Structure 1
Amino acid sequence: MLDFNNVLLDFTKDVWSYISLGYFKQMTKGGQVGSFTMPHEVDPANFGNCHSNLLMAKAAIASVSTNVSTFKRDVTDIFARFTWLGLTHSLVAYKKSLHGIKMLQVNESQLSEELEKNWVVLAETIQTAMRIYAVPEPYETLKELTRGDVDKESISFFIRNLDLPEEEKLNLLNLIPHSYTGEAGNLAISIDEALGSLSVFKIK
């Protein structure tokens, strides 16, 4: 549980950052209070609540492992109290994170703008194709390209001059940052299926 909580802690920080960068918007409800100084802003309160509860859970569970008497007295009640305290804070954190996720809305225009500036994301699949067809030094060759200014034209020029079958070149030339996701889709599906089997993650 501690390992999972640590992962969730990082997740809440990441989501908070993505909201700040404008990658996510938060759906609002009538009467919802915004930021103290900027009423138009909606604080990611669920993720903040999740973060605080995870820290409380971490402290409670950690105290169980350190609160051992040198005189070997019975500390069962202390173990039980802090274990349940850690579990309770963890469950509250899980529910708050899920409620926060339900309020998220992808800011497609912002993401589209970011992707248009980052044709370098296609380097992964280009390198994979180069390795499949045994093109010499795929990593080193791509490193020279991708550590400079990369745009649609430079990527297209690079692909056309590769020693690859024409069909493979055409496949690569048809890729755009907006549609290329690599294995992300399959990974997301497998995670969703794994979480779906755990009743604790079902919001009522």
Structure 2
Amino acid sequence: MNDLPRESPLAAVSPLDGRYAGKTADLVPYASEAALIEARLRVEVEYLLALADAEAVDCEVTPEERAHLREVVDGFDADDAALVKRIETEGTEEFAATRHDVKAVEYFLRTETPERLHPWIHFGLTSEDVNNLAHRLNAKGAVEEVLLPAIEAIRDALTRMAREYRDVPMLARTHGQPATPTTFGKEMAVVAARLGRAEARVRAAVEALSGKLAGASGTYAAHVAAYPDVDWRAFSAAFVDDLGLEHTPLATQINPCDDLAALFDALAGVNNVLLDLDRDVWRYVSDRYLGQESESSETGSSTMPHKVNPIDFENSEGNLSKANSDLTFLRDYVTSSRLQRDLSDSTVKRNVGAAFAHCLIGYRKTATGLGKVVPNEQVMREELEATPEIIGEAVQTILRREGDTEAYERVKELTRGQRVTLADFRELFDELDVEEDVRTELRALTPAGYTGVADDLVDELD
């Protein structure tokens, strides 16, 4: 196997870059190493231009140079990323290998600027000033442009199903046992509502992403030493705000990652809702409440030709579980640092993209699965009719209304641990000392009709 080309998907160590590469491609502009290099370059360029705009700083950038710098960022491509990587790892004729990823970006930017601007590139900064901003810009883009639309697609599908099947009665199960009926649409509405709330938490976390630009120990020391009369705190706040992030005024060398932790936690919350959905739909398929559309070329089992497996929901469950494991690890790890800085978080943060990728695979698999399932209304009704004991709740509640103090015990004696029929209930009704209109009311009870206002609850989604 040593003859496999390194660029082949079959040579990928992670399935994210091999088997699932096509499913995670939308994250490449935000989660790849090239994306991180590009984000660093954007921060460095914007910082250089911000210095030029500061009246008390002696950095001057002409309009032509400013336009060129914008073009360097906007036109950054694979060849540029490869050059930055080469400067870092191998060196070039102009630069010895930096063995430092941010310094390599600085040197690359020198190749695109006149020599008089070179001292101002990365002026007064520590690498973390650049990295913390770059990571958050990429996280923001990945979530807003890729993950949130995928979550919205699931919520939209659930909402459509809730409305279409709002009045399709279905046996509910509590503790795995037959319980008061619901409707399939109402159950999908519950998940859609939960997902909407979880999605809102993700959006709030993205809006709260914050950035730091304050030097090696968060004191602006180098900046103040060079230009003591500049209000560097105001400069930093304005710069970070212009990047679309909140400003972190108090930091060590690193930006405290409580904001990233909140984002990871919010995404895990979305995943928990969908894991619940995946497992429930899996059970509904197993119980034949849901049928699945199949492709003629698809193989469900290597030995059992008849099988149409709920593989999309199973795949989603696996990927979302892996994502949550990664997100939990990231959440707990990135919020701590020894004293003012240690480097252990640097390698950890490189795995944020992998966590996002497992999220994305899970979201798209759930969406694909939802597009294939169709409620089997006949099966649902047949099971309701075969479980008449579920009207016992209604019976004892109506009898309580009529003042029967033994109502619960009376129905319990008839139904608990036994198979009963509607005829058994009617015998009970005939024996009751109640008004005839109450007896008529009881006789009208059916399992399929005992769904309360389940169908109307779907309108809570509006």
Give the TM-score normalised by structure 1. 0.77
Moved over 6 A (4+): none
Alignment-derived partner of residue 441 in structure 2:
171
Q: For 1:20 and 1:64, how far apart are their aligned partners in 2?
A: 35
Alignment-derived partner of residue 403 in structure 2:
134
Matched, 1:182 2:452: yes
- Give the C-alpha shift of residue 132 in structure 1: 2.5
Which of residues 278, 291, 310 is equivalent to 1:12? 278
Query: Relative CO higher for 1 or 2, CA cutoff 8 Å, sep ≥ 6?
Result: 1
**Structure 1: any 5+ residue segments left out of the alignment?**
195-204
SS in 2 for 1:25: strand
Contact 2:388 2:420 (C-alpha < 8 Å) held by counterparts: yes
SS in 1 for 2:291: strand
Q: For 1:74 and 1:159, how far apart are their aligned partners in 2?
A: 75
Decide which moves more: 143-152 or 86-95.
Answer: 86-95
Q: For 2:410 and 2:269, how far apart are their aligned partners in 1?
A: 39
* Residue 34 to residue 151, structure 1, CA distance change in 2 (3 Å): same
Q: For 1:144 and 1:175, how far apart are their aligned partners in 2?
A: 19
Alignment-derived partner of residue 125 in structure 1:
394
* Residue 123 to residue 79, structure 1, CA distance change in 2 (3 Å): farther
How many pairs were matched up?
192
Alignment-derived partner of residue 114 in structure 1:
383
Q: Between the two proteins, what is the percent identity of the paired residues?
A: 33
- Give 1:1-204 correspondences, 5 Å limit: 1=266, 2-68=268-334, 71-72=338-339, 73=342, 77=346, 81-147=350-416, 148-190=418-460, 193=461
Contact 1:135 1:163 (C-alpha < 8 Å) held by counterparts: no
Contact 1:46 1:99 (C-alpha < 8 Å) held by counterparts: yes
Q: For 2:386 and 2:430, how far apart are their aligned partners in 1?
A: 21
* Residue 123 to residue 78, structure 1, CA distance change in 2 (3 Å): farther
* Residue 102 to residue 161, structure 1, CA distance change in 2 (3 Å): farther
Q: State the AA in 1 paired with 2:436.
A: E
Q: For 2:359 and 2:436, how far apart are their aligned partners in 1?
A: 54
Alignment-derived partner of residue 198 in structure 1:
none
* Residue 83 to residue 142, structure 1, CA distance change in 2 (3 Å): farther
Contact 2:312 2:365 (C-alpha < 8 Å) held by counterparts: yes
Contact 1:63 1:82 (C-alpha < 8 Å) held by counterparts: no
- Give the C-alpha shift of residue 49 in structure 1: 1.7
Give the TM-score normalised by structure 2. 0.37
* Residue 36 to residue 77, structure 1, CA distance change in 2 (3 Å): same
CA RMSD of aligned residues (A): 2.7
SS in 2 for 1:95: helix
- Give the C-alpha shift of residue 83 in structure 1: 4.7
**Structure 2: any 5+ residue segments left out of the alignment?**
1-265
SS in 2 for 1:105: strand
Contact 1:26 1:103 (C-alpha < 8 Å) held by counterparts: yes
Q: For 2:269 and 2:392, how far apart are their aligned partners in 1?
A: 32
Q: State the AA in 1 paired with 2:355.
A: G
Q: Deviations over 1:13-40 (max 9, x none)?
A: 2221222222221112342332221222
